Structure formats: structure tokens, C-alpha cells
Structure 1
């Protein structure tokens, strides 16, 4: 498992912020499409595949399947970079690290300019503490 220094975490942060924004945008679009599909299904409740004709939902359901795969690839990309994506909305990213000689997670929350806090592996976000000064 990769371990990050504070400097490495903050150097990677601009790229992760862009990735996170793309993921958030895709998830918003996915939710909109899903709601629209459900609305259409409710409107055309009488349609059954046995009634003949083309499935009016095939295209949208296919697009949603593709979007779901794209979301999973984007989430997996965070893992490939060695970070832990804890939440998408709002964004919460942990960087495995060693802080004061102990295994820890450097923590960044969307809206923060840089990673400046950490917590233990089992402490979670509520256990956040400011990073020690060098």
C-alpha cells in the first residue's frame, strides 16, 4: 500500500479535485436520467414487452448501464492512485500515511484548500486532528 507524505497528498490534490468534480457531474446526470426513466415508465405503465413494438426504455436503460460502468471506473481510478474515496458528495478523500510514527490517514474534505488534517484508521472523520507542524 502506498503511503503519502503531506506534500505528496497536496501535490496530487488538484488532479483528484478534477476527478472528483467529473464523478460528481456524472452521478448528477445519472440520477437525473434515472428519475426521468422512472417518470416515463410511470407514464407508459401499460407497456409490456409482450404487447409488441420496440421497448421504449431500451435506449435509456442502456445509457444508464453505461454510466454506471463509467462511475465504477472513475471510483476505481481513485484506488489505483492509492487514495481512499470516502464520500462523493461532499468529496472526502483519505491518503494512507505515517503521522508521528503511526499508521494514519491524511484527510481532505471538499472545500478545504489543502489536506491539513489526519485521523487514525479506525477514528473516522470525527477523529480528525490538525497535522503536526514540521
Structure 2
């Protein structure tokens, strides 16, 4: 499958929807981490001999582990949604998204970091975020 290539304008038109999806993904990851921490504490308490009140089940962790598995699948689906749009989600927190593009016959990545109003920089595939340069058509604002 040939990768999707974006112009700077197309990247910025897609950005508001991607930002909404990113915020939902960040919240989901935060909830997953909190629930995982809770499970670890419950397991630690059980190992140290203290038992949670009321647990009549053979596996007192089954429900929490099931919720975590479902949340993990939700995270994978959300990450996959970025890929299906042709963008590269490089980091969830803080959000870092790359848009494959071409500039002067060279394959590049238009990059956006959460907190920036719009995508206005790019870097080569091997340069990474630290090699960012201002996109020629990005204008003087931002």
C-alpha cells in the first residue's frame, strides 16, 4: 500500500480532528495507567497477606484484568485510527504527529507537537524531531 502524502494545507486541515482523537487517547491511557496501578497495589496487598474485603471469587483480579485488557484494545484501536489516516503518531504524551510529505523531490515528515497552533515544521525521515526546520510555505506567524 502506497503511503498517503500530505501537503502542509492538508495536514493542517486534518489537525483539529487529530487533536480531538489525541486528547481522547491521552485520557484513555491515563485511565489505563491508574487502573493498572490499582491492580498492582491489590496484588501487592495480597502477597503481603492483607486481603481485600468481600472477595469471594476464585480470582479476585479477574474483573480488573479484564477491564485493562479491554482498555488495551481500545488504545490499540485508537492508535490504529491515526495510522489508517496515513499519519504517524510518534508520541502520545505529549502528542507528536508526523505527516508524510514531499518537498523538492525529497520525502519528508511535516511534524506537529501538541501545544502548537498548526503544523509549520518538517524534518527528514532520519533527522527526527531535533532536526526540525520551518516549512517554506508556513508563513511568518506561529
Q: Is TM more than 0.5 here?
A: yes
Segment drifting more, 108-117 vs 94-103: 94-103
Alpha-carbon shift at residue 23 of structure 1 (Å): 0.5
Change in 2 beyond 3 A, CA 1:53/1:29: closer
2:29 aligned residue: 27
Displacement after TM superposition at 1:4 (Å)? 0.2
Q: Which runs of 5+ in 2 are unaligned?
A: none
Residue of structure 2 in register with 1:43 after alignment:
45
Are 2:108 and 1:104 aligned? yes
Q: 2:89 aligns with which of 75, 85, 91?
A: 85
Give, in angstroms, the shift of residue 53 of structure 1.
4.2
The gaps in structure 1 that reach 5 residues or longer are none
Q: Look up the match of 2:78.
A: 74
For residues 133 and 96 of structure 1, what CA distance do their matches in structure 2 show?
16
Task: Give the Å deviation of 1:102.
Answer: 1.2
Q: Distance in 1 between matches of 2:5 and 2:137?
A: 19
In structure 2, relative to structure 1, the CA distance for the partners of 1:113 and 1:53 (3 Å cut) is: closer
Residue 117 (structure 1) aligns with:
121
How far, CA to CA, are the matches of 1:88 and 1:98 in structure 2? 25
Runs of 4+ with >3 A deviation: none
Normalising by structure 1, we get a TM-score of: 0.92
CA–CA distance in structure 2, aligned partners of residues 31 and 108 of structure 1: 25
